[in-house]
Amino acid sequence: MTTYRLHYFPESGNSYKLALMLTLCGQSFEPVWTDFGGGVTRTAEWRASVNPMGEIPVLEEDGVRLTQTAPILLRLAKRYGQFGAANEQEQFEVLRWLFWDNQKLSGFMATYRYRRAFTPSPDAKVQDFLRKRVDDFLGILAGEVAQRPFIIGDRPTVADLSLCGYLSFPVEESGYDLAARFPDVHAWLQRIAALPGWKPPYELLPGPRLKRYV
Amino acid sequence: MTTYRLHYFPESGNSYKLALMLTLCGQSFEPVWTDFGGGVTRTAEWRASVNPMGEIPVLEEDGVRLTQTAPILLRLAKRYGQFGAANEQEQFEVLRWLFWDNQKLSGFMATYRYRRAFTPSPDAKVQDFLRKRVDDFLGILAGEVAQRPFIIGDRPTVADLSLCGYLSFPVEESGYDLAARFPDVHAWLQRIAALPGWKPPYELLPGPRLKRYV
C-alpha cells in the first residue's frame, strides 16, 4: 500500500485537487503544511532540492517526490481504477479538459484570486485583464456542464476534479458568486460535492492561513 | 493512411506545434488558413460548429475535427511511434512538461507576444506582469536544457515540440533575444532545428499575416 505525504498550502487549488482525489479514492495522506506565504517555494533551495518548477503541491509516494498536479491525477486514476477514462476516446477528452483547465480556467482563476484576495493592492488593469478571461472561461465551462452531468459524460473524472479545484473555495476569495452568475457551474459543483467522501478545501488542507485582504 | 487538414493562422505557435509534428513524422497536411485577425474564432458560430473552446488550431483527421494541441501531439506520437515516451516513467515526464508548457511557458509567451506584436497599444502594466513571468519560465527551461540535450533526456519528444512552439518565431515579435539572454535555450532550439525535415513557422504556415505593430 502506497504511503502519501502532500506538501501544500491551504489556499492552493492544485493542492486541493490532489487531496480531494486521494480522499475520494479512500486514501489517506500525511499533510505537510508549507510556508508558501513566507516564500519557501520561491527560494533557490526549494527549486534545487524539491521542485525546479518552483511550484506546489508536491506529492510524495513512498518517499518519491512528484510534481505537476494533472499528471499525478492521471497516475492516481490508473492506480485506483477511479475517475479515469474507460477507453481511448474518453482519455482524449479527459486530456483535452485537463489541458484546457490548466492553461485557461485554473491558470487564470488561480492568479486572479490569489492577487485579489491574498496580495495587497493588486494592479487594477492586470486584474481587469485576468477577470475578463475568467468570465469567458466560466461561460465555456457552463455551456458544457449544462449539457451533461460531468465534463465528459455521466461519470466524474479527474478532469472534473481538476476543473473544480479553484472554484471550490469561498466566494469572498474569488469574488465570483457562481450560484448567481453561473448557475450551471454551481449545479455541477454540487454534483461533485455529493460524491461519497467529498470534503471542502479547508477541511482537507488544515493549518495557518494566508492574510486575506478582501 | 490518415488525411490531415490543419485549420490555423500563421502566427499561432500552437498551430506550428502540430504542423511541425506532422512534418517531422513525414506526414503532409492541407493547410486551411483561418481569419483569426478578423475574429472568426471568436464568433458564436465558430464556437457552436467548430470548437466550443473558441480556439485554434483545429486538426481534421479524415474529416473528424480535433482540438487541444497537447492531446493531439500525444495521439500523433502514438500513431507514428515518434517523439513519444518509451515507458511509463518517461510518459509521466512528457506529461509534466506538456502541462507546464501549456500553463506557463506557451501560455504566457503566447499572450505576451500577441499583445506586444499584434495589438495596438497594449497596456504596459499588463505587459510587465506577463513579461516577468515569461522571464521566470525561460530561466526554468534554461536550467533544464543546460543539463541534457532535450527536455526529458537524449531524445526529442512532443514535450520539446510543444515547448519550442512560441520560441521559434522571429525575435521582433516577442522582443526576446534568446541567443543573448538565454543561450542554453537558444542552443536547445538549434538542436530541434537540426532534426531532419524541420522547418520554421512561416514556411509551414503560409498565407496572409496579421498586422505587426512593433
pLDDT of residue A62: 97
Q: Give mean pLDDT, residues B83-100.
A: 98
Judge if A16 and A61 occupy the same domain.
yes
* B141 falls within a domain: yes
**Chain B residues in contact with A66 (beta carbon < 8 A):** 92
- Say if residues A56 and A29 touch (Cβ distance below 8 Å): no
Average pLDDT over residues B170-185: 98
Cell (9 digits) for B67: 482540438
Smallest Cβ distance to B71: which of A96, A102, A106? A96
Cα(A186)–Cα(A191) distance, rounded to whole angstroms? Answer: 9
Q: Among all residues of chain A, which has the CA nearest to that of B107?
A: A103
- Rounded to an integer, what distance in angstroms lies between the CA atom of residue A143 and that of residue A125? 28
Does B75 share its domain with B106? no
Specify the pLDDT at position A44: 86
Residues A13 and A104 in one domain: no
Residue B54 confidence (pLDDT) = 79
CA distance A126 to chain B (A): 5
**Do B98 and B58 fall within a single domain?**
no
Predicted local confidence at residue B200, as pLDDT: 98
**Are B73 and B20 part of one and the same domain?**
yes
Together in a domain, B168 and B115: yes
Residue B179 domain-assigned? yes
Cβ–Cβ contact A136 with B under 8 A = yes
Looking at residue B44, what is its pLDDT? 86
B99-127 mean pLDDT: 97
Instruction: Decide if A210 is inside a domain.
Output: no
Going residue by residue through chain A (214 aa), what tens digit of pLDDT does each one get?
999 999 999 999 999 999 999 999 999 999 999 999 888 888 888 888 888 888 899 999 999 999 999 999 999 999 999 999 999 999 999 999 999 999 999 999 999 999 999 999 999 999 999 999 999 999 999 999 999 999 999 999 999 999 999 999 999 999 999 999 999 999 999 999 999 999 999 999 999 999 999 9
* Domain total of chain A: 2
Residue of B nearest to A88 (CA): B75
Do B93 and B56 reside in the same domain of the chain? no
- Which of B99, B107, B126 lies closest to A126 in CB terms? B126
Whether B99 sits inside 8 A of A100 (CB atoms) is no
User: Do residues A84 and A35 touch, judged by C-beta distance below 8 A?
Assistant: no
Do B48 and B113 reside in the same domain of the chain? no
Question: B52, A144: Cβ pair inside 8 Å?
Answer: yes
Cα(B62)–Cα(B57) distance, integer angstroms? 16
pLDDT, residue A110, reads 97
- Asked if the structure places residue A188 within a domain, the reply is yes
Q: B132-158: b or e for each residue (b if 16 or more CB lie within 10 Å)?
A: ebbeebbebbbebbeeeebbbeeebbb
Q: Are residues B99 and B153 in the same domain?
A: yes
As for the ipTM of the complex, it is: 0.96
Average pLDDT over residues B99-115: 97
Same domain, A161 and A185: yes
Q: Is residue A34 part of a domain?
A: yes
B140 touching chain A per CB within 8 A: yes
- Chain A hits for B54, CB-CB cut-off 8 Å, are 136, 140
Asked whether B103 and A107 are in contact (CB, 8 A), the reply is yes
- Segment B119-172, tens digit of pLDDT: 999 999 999 999 999 999 999 999 999 999 999 999 999 999 999 999 999 999
Same domain, B135 and B67: no
- Would you call B95 and A144 a contact, using CB atoms and an 8 Å cutoff? no
Given a contact cutoff of 8 angstroms between Cβ atoms, the answer to whether A120 and A127 are in contact is no
Residue A52's pLDDT is: 80
Residue at A32 is within a domain: yes
In tens, the pLDDT along A108-162 reads 999 999 999 999 999 999 999 999 999 999 999 999 999 999 999 999 999 999 9
Question: Residue B23: inside a domain, yes or no?
Answer: yes
Task: Count chain A–chain B contacts defined by CB atoms under 8 A.
Answer: 71
Lowest-confidence pick of B20-29, B36-45, B122-131: B36-45
B130 and B70 in a common domain:
no
> What CATH number is associated with residue B133?
1.20.1050.10
Q: Which domain range does residue B66 map to?
A: 4-82+199-204
Indicate which CATH number applies to the domain containing A40. 3.40.30.10
Has residue B31 been placed in a domain?
yes
Identify the pLDDT of residue A182.
98
